[in-house]
Structure 1
Amino acid sequence: MTVKKRYDSEYIEWLGGLKQRIKGTQIKAALSANKEIIELYWEIGKELYEKQENQGWGNSVVDNLERDLISEFPDLKGFSRRNLFYMKGFYSFYKSDFKKVQQLVAQIPWGHNILIVSKSKTIEESIFYLTETIENSWSRSILDMQIGTDLYSRQGKAITNFKNTLPNPDSDLANQTLKDPYLFDFLTLKRNADERSIEDQLTKHITQFLLELGTGFAFIGRQYKLEVGDKDFYIDLLFYHTKLRCYVVVELKAKNFKPEYAGKLSFYLSAIDDKLKTESDNPTIGIVLCQEKNKIEAEYALRGISQPIGVAEYQLSRAIPDNIKSDLPTIEEIEKELATTINISNAE
């Protein structure tokens, strides 16, 4: 038997088996649609990988498979040439450690899976995004945004004293709640924007702000007033975290970190614990958000403080230089500019 005849014979047999499995999947889909689809795509990807990489079948097998499966199942989507290559890539990425992710990948849609596989460098990174997607019910667009901001490298990276000030497992959960740096690229501000301007923008864009802070943060207020003794004090931003079951005080600094910031925040935490915290609440947590920090300086500043505090940087990725207006030009300004340009052109 020639190589071509053997290929044709094996392909026809393989195609027949695939058709039967696809029909079986259609029947089961009503009960567990996503799980069955992911498993089917895994099997197709595995067999494509083995036939192309081990048996030397070229890319023409993908073209043939696309044509024949679409012909057999014209009402089903998912058997395009592109998606067949996604199936192969899905298998190739996880083939050595599929047991680690088998239950996770079955819980999210195929589009989410492909996004994670195509943008993750390691299986550990993909597991992070799989887990976060399941826990937070992320849409595909939110998942894409979180991957694009490299959440995997930022989550749990803030400098904190949580291990010394919170019991386990609260300390680990609190530590994973914080990021470093925080990305406020949804703001449009001048490069040297002051703290009040940043606060204004963050509260104006509270939905994006809460998304960047992460799941569990509930906004209580800005410039929250505290009466201590006969003086009034104002907290920049006050939140309640539903998972940690505690208040969270955020102090925003448009400067580099200074040790005295931790001392002032410690004072606020004591006041919140005394005036707002109930018996069912955990100790209040503080976060200093600053433009830059020195790691050793921040660690020293937190070492002798008994309240749980974290220090992290923030970035204004879309900062506008001071000499450029943040607002769009008015119609009058545009017309004036055009008139000037025309006059110069006519003069020349």
Structure 2
Amino acid sequence: MAKQKSNILPQDYTTWVCELKKRYAQSQIKASIAVNGELIGFYYSLGRDIQQKQFQNTYGSGFYKKLSEDLRREIPNAKGFSPTTLKYAVYFYDLYKDFVDGQNRPQLVDDLKKIPWGHHRFIIDSCKGSPKKALFFVKKTIENNWSRSVLLTFLDTDLYEREGRAVTNFTTTLPKAQGDLARELTRDPYCFDFVEVRGDFEERELKDALLKNIEMFMMELGRGFAYMGREYRLMVGETEQFLDMLFYNTRLHCYVVVEVKTGKFEPAYIGQLSTYVVAVNHLLKTPEDKPTLGILVCKDKDEILAQYSLEGTVNPIAISEFELAKIYPKDFKSSLPSIKELEDGLRG
């Protein structure tokens, strides 16, 4: 009698199959990236041809429709030849031509090929006539792996204009390389449009709202921030100190103390934050960590007063403002019907 084969597969076979699955997925990702890169390169050359050959002058306003129909007829299975896409190819070329054509800029070309065409269209819409701004968002998208929706969010918040604009003393308190990177990570103002508060909100309400939307808050703070805690307790001598918010930045390799004030900047805030920065350096910082940073975020500030205040401290601190979009009337909550009122209305 023939011996029946076992249906139980050996462990090394199962492991091999799992490895094949991973390798196939990696190959698909690489193939997708390669295809996207070739597509971006094609659109750039297409935009250049349209611009240089000037066929639109011959065919007038119907040129893009005619070219779209001709390309679809000649390449029936291809997508991406709508009149709108063809126009965007020209916009794409126009935006970057001075940075690409005639210059040895392989890194720039590679960067353009790293993000999808849909992302490029968003950037084109927001950055026409400003290639430096466009390249800023290309770089940010690559660094942070932004989805289209996240990219659109930051395009709408004027990130290019806000980044690195905080009042700081980093040039005098940090080594140049770290100071430059730290300054780049600051923003002024910080955009808290994701927060919903009433017109008479207090400091605690704002902090509650920020922590309720911690993911959006950390995205607004910038790349590399890891949340360590709110009202972070430090025992300084025999006195308890509570830090508004404590973060660690993996790019700067240092702790970052964030203090949020709902009023106008006051010099006394610098003394308080400076004390917290020193305390973190003594109690939490390891020899591998870089000096702790402080970021003070206020509703408003006098630029000169802020700068003068920073000159009096040896600790690296930045001062910024914040903006809110969703501020409800002071009596917003009281104007809403209560649960009991809603139930009584339904019974009536």
Q: Give the TM interval when normalised to the shorter protein.
A: 0.7 to 0.9
- Structure 2 match to 1:102: 109
Poorly superposed stretches of 4+, deviation over 3 Å = 51-57, 326-340
Cα distance in 2 for partners of 1:328, 1:111 equals 41
Selected match of 2:216 from 208, 215, 219: 208
Partner of 1:135: 143
Tell me if structure 1 keeps the 8 A contact 2:192–2:323: yes
Q: Secondary structure at the match of 1:186?
A: coil
Stretch of structure 1 that moved more, 71-80 or 195-204: 71-80
How far the C-alpha of 1:73 sits from its partner, in A, is 2.8
Offset at residue 75 of structure 1 (A): 2.8
Is the Cα–Cα contact under 8 Å of residues 33 and 114 in structure 2 kept in the other structure? no
Counterpart secondary structure, 1:255: coil
Using a 3 Å threshold, how does the CA distance of structure 1 residues 268 and 124 change in structure 2: closer, same or farther? same
Partner letter of residue 166 of structure 2?
Answer: A
Tell me how many residue pairs correspond in the alignment.
312
Tell me which residue corresponds to 2:83: 81
Quote the residue 1:126 is aligned against: 134
User: Who is 1:244 aligned against?
Assistant: 252
1:74 partner amino acid? P
User: How many Å apart are 1:32 and its aligned residue?
Assistant: 2.2
* Separation in 2, partners of 1:78, 1:327: 51
Query: Could you tell me which residue of structure 1 aligns to residue 326 of structure 2?
Result: 318
Cα displacement (A) at 1:328: 5.9
Q: Residues 111-145 of structure 1, C-alpha deviation per residue, up to 9 Å, x if partnerless?
A: 11121122114111111111111111111111111
Task: Tell me, yes or no, if structure 1 residue 156 matches structure 2 residue 164.
Answer: yes
* Structure 1 residue 235 corresponds to structure 2 residue 243: yes
CA distance, structure 1, for counterparts of residue 56 and residue 81 of structure 2: 22
Q: Is 2:56–2:63's contact at 8 Å kept on the other side of the alignment?
A: no
SS of 2:318's partner is strand
TM-score, normalised to structure 2, is 0.84
Question: 2:211 & 2:43 partners in 1: Cα distance?
Answer: 44
Q: Which residue of 2 aligns with 1:92?
A: 94
Match for residue 116 of structure 1 among 109, 123, 140: 123
2:310 pairs with one of 299, 302, 306: 302
Code of the aligned partner of 1:93: L
Deviates most, 245-254 or 35-44: 35-44
Q: How does 1:17-32 map to 2 (within 5 A)?
A: 32=34
TM-aligned CA distance change 1:169 to 1:64, over 3 Å? same
Change beyond 3 A, Cα 1:30–1:309: closer
Structure 2 distance, partners of 1:30, 1:237, is 40
Q: CA deviation at 1:320?
A: 1.2
The CA distance in 2 between the partners of 1:73 and 1:133, in whole Å, is 32
Deviates further, 69-78 or 166-175: 69-78
Paired amino acid for 2:313: I
- The question of 1:64 aligning with 2:71 is answered no
Q: 1:8: which partner in 2?
A: none
- Asked if 1:267 is matched to 2:275, the reply is yes
Q: Secondary structure at the match of 2:326?
A: coil
Distance in 2 (CA, whole Å) between partners of 1:198 and 1:109 is 36
AA of the residue aligned to 1:169: A
In the TM superposition, what is the alpha-carbon distance from 1:227 to its structure 2 partner? 0.7
Answer whether contact 2:55 2:63 (CA < 8 A) is retained. no
Identity %: 42
* Alignment check: 8 A CA contact 1:160 1:175 kept: yes
Rounded to whole Å, the distance in 1 between the matches of 2:335 and 2:92 is 45
Unmatched tracts of structure 2, length 5 or more: 1-30
Is the CA contact 2:162–2:188 (under 8 Å) kept in the aligned structure 1? yes
Unaligned runs of 5+ in 1: 1-28, 341-348
Which amino acid is the alignment partner of residue 83 of structure 1? T
Counterpart position of 2:188 = 180
